[in-house]
Amino acid sequence: MQDMMQAVTLATEYCNALQQAPETEQADFVANLVTLLPKLYLTFCEADENDMIDDAYFPDYVDEDYYMNIRHGIETLLGEHDTYLETFEEDMKYSDTPIAASIAEGLADIFQDLYNFITEVKESDGENLAGAFSSCFDNFRNYWAQTLCNVMRPLNNLRFSGELNQ
């Protein structure tokens, strides 16, 4: 239960950070994410799989317009720093040229699942915490854990490269 509550807290912080990206300085945004993302990763990695509810499903609260708004806000904030070369892209196995990826797209993909998670918990007054966490955990394991790891590399580089606006 404590893992689930910690996940709600971290997911809320993450979603707030992405929603506020357009009003945030580049360096502050990146520093915040370089701190939040590993905490999210560890929280979900250390969750007890025995506590999960099978086949938990909840509605999507993030529609395409909201997703694109979040993504665009991050793209605008990061500007030329949004694109990075991705080595874990599936298409990379078959390509002779590097594959470019977007930090904003990766962060927005994670946002979508975490926002759905915290919104379901809020809408159910906490009654669906275990089910919503189970659904989010399943998506973490199958989809966004690798995305989180992938965006950490360019964010870490930006954090310590001195290239960002203060």
**For 90-121, what is each residue's pLDDT tens digit?**
555 555 666 788 999 999 999 999 999 999 99
Residue 143 lies in a domain: yes
> What is the extent of the structural domain holding 100?
2-161
In a domain, 144, yes or no: yes
User: According to the model, what pLDDT value does residue 37 have?
Assistant: 98
165 confidence band (pLDDT: 50, 70, 90): low
User: Domain containing 20 — which CATH number?
Assistant: 1.20.120.1550
pLDDT digits (tens, 9 = 90+) for 39-70: 999 999 999 888 788 777 788 999 999 999 99
How many domains does the chain contain in total?
1
Domain presence at residue 120: yes
Q: How far apart are CA 45 and CA 148, in angstroms?
A: 12
Q: Is residue 166 part of a domain?
A: no
